Structure 1
Amino acid sequence: MNIPGVRQLFTPLNYIRIRRGTVKMWYDWYMPTAISGMVVMILISTDWSINTFGSNGLIEQVVELLKMLIGFYIASLAAVSTFPSAVLNQGLAGESATLKSKRRGKEIVIPLSRRRFLSYLFGYLAFMSLVLFISGMAINLLTPLAKVHISSSIIPWVKGVVAFIYLFWVSNILVSTLLGLHYLTDRIHRPVDGNVIKNDDK
């Protein structure tokens, strides 16, 4: 069923669909998988003695961090979208970033400028932070019920799966945040050829 307007609500997720050679796959999937996998292995090796799902546990601490990050991402999105800079309107150095889109029934490939790429990036980070914030609260609220209604023999497996999925997306926004900070602190101040700009107006 096609509900009018729903697709627009998920526009920030278009960031995942952006293609830029193999490097973006590392940022979006490979690095987060490695990070979340290592964290879950540590949790399992300690027999879940590290507080993960309980009060003041790992997930609750992540939720508290996300409270602050959501505002930062929205402010960064606003700044990138409105900051007057010719450099931001240039394409990305190296491999270009592209996004497939449908226009009037035809699929086209859109090359992205630095400004549009960063807008998608920080829009995605704001969206996912909100999703993880709500998901983290739900996990903490449902944990006592899960202990009652789920067999004790499979609880460790459930913990592992839930922790891995949640921490994967946390790792995903962590890596993406570092990428965004790289662009905001350095890359947007250099032209495509990598030379230092002497005058920001040029």
Structure 2
Amino acid sequence: MLLKQILMPFGYLAIRHPHKWVVDWFYPALATLLTLLGLLYATEVSLLLAKGGMVSSLLSFVQSLPGFYIAALAAIATFGRADIDSVLPEPTPEVKVKFIGGENIVKLTRRRFLAMLFSFLTAESIVLIVFSIFAIELSSSLSLFSAYGVNVGWWISVLLLALFFFAFYQLIAATFWGLYYLGFKLHE
């Protein structure tokens, strides 16, 4: 049960909405693919993961985000306008909630949607920071891995980069979606 509670911020990904998959999965996957194709053509993979490389530079930006996400989460939780607790218009995002007796589908209010979104963004940014630190530290020894004449370290590096860029672009896309809701939709 404790593990379920710890992983609850990732429950945002379980929200059902017809357009949400585009923000959560399609845009990040497309941006990751385009980024990897461009970077693999333009530079050496090991330089991207090395200390002082691109991942390291982006990490310094990502490290500043959890504090802002937590502040946004606190503001959403304490926001005083009554309309923030009204259900979002159609198509209304929904989430499956487990109660003691079973499961119910709950239509989300603005407050609940934004709280789930910024909770997810906080958790994902923390995971991305830890992942990046491990990837940067691991990258120096990846060039040593090879098997049957194949540079396995290069493939592991590409996989690490793909995971990093996917999570990074997912973070950026969801952040902009959250800013859209906070800046525009909340005032309608």
C-alpha separation between the residues in 2 aligned to 1:113 and 1:80?
12
C-alpha separation between the residues in 2 aligned to 1:70 and 1:175?
16
Deviation at 1:58, TM superposition (A): 1.3
Deviation at 1:177, TM superposition (A): 0.3
Deviations 1:162-188 (A, max 9, x none): 211111011001000000111111110
Deviation at 1:94, TM superposition (A): 2.8
* Cα distance change of structure 1 residues 39 and 136 upon mapping to structure 2, 3 Å threshold: same
CA contact (8 A) 2:45 2:157 kept: no
CA contact (8 A) 1:31 1:175 kept: yes
Deviation at 1:54, TM superposition (A): 1.0
C-alpha separation between the residues in 2 aligned to 1:6 and 1:176?
24
CA contact (8 A) 2:56 2:136 kept: yes
C-alpha separation between the residues in 2 aligned to 1:74 and 1:54?
30
Gaps of 5+ in 2: none
Residue 116 of structure 2 corresponds to 120
C-alpha separation between the residues in 1 aligned to 2:97 and 2:171?
24
C-alpha separation between the residues in 2 aligned to 1:87 and 1:148?
58
CA contact (8 A) 2:17 2:92 kept: yes
Aligned with 2:106 (options 107, 110, 117): 110
TM-align CA RMSD? 1.6
CA contact (8 A) 1:98 1:112 kept: yes
2:52 equivalent to 1:40:
no
2:7 equivalent to 1:13:
no
Aligned with 2:175 (options 160, 169, 177): 177
Give the alignment's TM-score, normalised by structure 1. 0.87
Deviation at 1:103, TM superposition (A): 1.0
After the TM superposition, list the runs of 4 or more consecutive aligned residues in structure 1 that deviate by more than 3 angstroms: 149-152
Gaps of 5+ in 1: 191-202
Deviations 1:27-64 (A, max 9, x none): 01001000011000011112427931112111111211
Equivalenced residues, count: 186
Deviation at 1:105, TM superposition (A): 4.0
Bigger share in helix = 2
2:80 equivalent to 1:94:
no
Residue 188 of structure 1 corresponds to 186
C-alpha separation between the residues in 1 aligned to 2:49 and 2:4?
33
CA contact (8 A) 1:43 1:50 kept: no
Deviation at 1:87, TM superposition (A): 2.1
Identity rate of aligned residues, in percent?
26
* Cα distance change of structure 1 residues 60 and 96 upon mapping to structure 2, 3 Å threshold: same
2:139 equivalent to 1:140:
no
Aligned with 1:76 (options 72, 75, 78): 72
Give the alignment's TM-score, normalised by structure 2. 0.93
CA contact (8 A) 2:23 2:173 kept: yes
Deviation at 1:10, TM superposition (A): 1.0
